[in-house]
């Protein structure tokens, strides 16, 4: 059972209270983008076996979106942070690097 702390309302929410929203930090492409980057934005995903930065919505709580850093193999949660962040906070990246030496965020897609 997955527990995530919503950074908006502070509640430690069970996964049944949350709606998953897929990979975070994707650059939104719109009119004027070339086909390749639009395709990539819509469909291509990192889908990593390991650390995943992702979006969640506190659907049955405050209703707001937030981001989480989670391991897709162990389900360990490295932290949650507000959806307004364009990059994961340093402290979360440090926590991940402590578990996975040499880990670094690859940047948004």
Partner 1 sequence: MKRYSAFAIAREAARYHAGWQRAWASPAPKPHYDVIVVGAGGHGLATAYYLGKRFGITNVAVIEKGWLGGGNTGRNTTIIRSNYLQDPSAAIYEKSRALYETLSQDLNYNIMFSPRGVLMLAQTEHEIRGWKRTAQANALQGIPTEYIGPAEVRRIVPIINIDGPRYPVLGALWQPRGGTARHDAVAWGYARACSAMGMDILQKCEVTAIRQQGSRVTGVETTKGAIGCGKLAIVVAGHSGVLARMAGFRLPIESVALQALVSEPIKPVIDVVVMANTVHGYISQSDKGELVIGGGADGFNNYTQRGSFHHIEETVRALCETFPIITRLKMLRQWGGIVDMTGDRSPILSKTPLEGCFINCGWGTGGFKAIPGSGWAMAELVARGEPGPLAAPFGLDRFREGRFIDESVAAGVAH
Which residues of this chain interact with partner 1, rule CB under 8 A?
1-2, 15-16, 19-20, 22-23, 35-36, 39-40, 42-49, 52, 54, 70, 72-75
Q: Which is nearer to partner 1, 22 or 63 (CB)?
A: 22
Q: Calculate ∠ Cα 43-6-98, nearest 5°.
A: 75
DSSP 30: -
Shortest reach from residue 67's CB to partner 1, in Å: 13
Q: Which is nearer to partner 1, 35 or 104 (CB)?
A: 35
Shortest reach from residue 69's CB to partner 1, in Å: 12
Give residue 109's Cα distance to chain centre. Answer: 12
> H or E stretch including 71?
strand 65-71
């Amino acid at each position: 059972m997955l527990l995530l702390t919503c950074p908006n309302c502070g509640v430690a929410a069970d996964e049944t209270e949350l709606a998953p929203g897929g990979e975070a930090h994707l650059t939104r492409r719109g009119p004027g983008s070339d086909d390749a980057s639009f395709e990539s934005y819509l469909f291509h995903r990192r889908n990593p076996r390991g650390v995943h930065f992702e979006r969640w919505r506190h659907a049955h709580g405050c209703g707001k979106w937030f981001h989480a850093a989670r391991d897709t193999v162990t389900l360990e949660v490295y932290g949650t942070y507000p959806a307004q962040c364009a990059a994961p906070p340093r402290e979360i990246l440090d926590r991940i690097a402590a578990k996975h030496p040499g880990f670094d965020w690859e940047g948004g897609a």
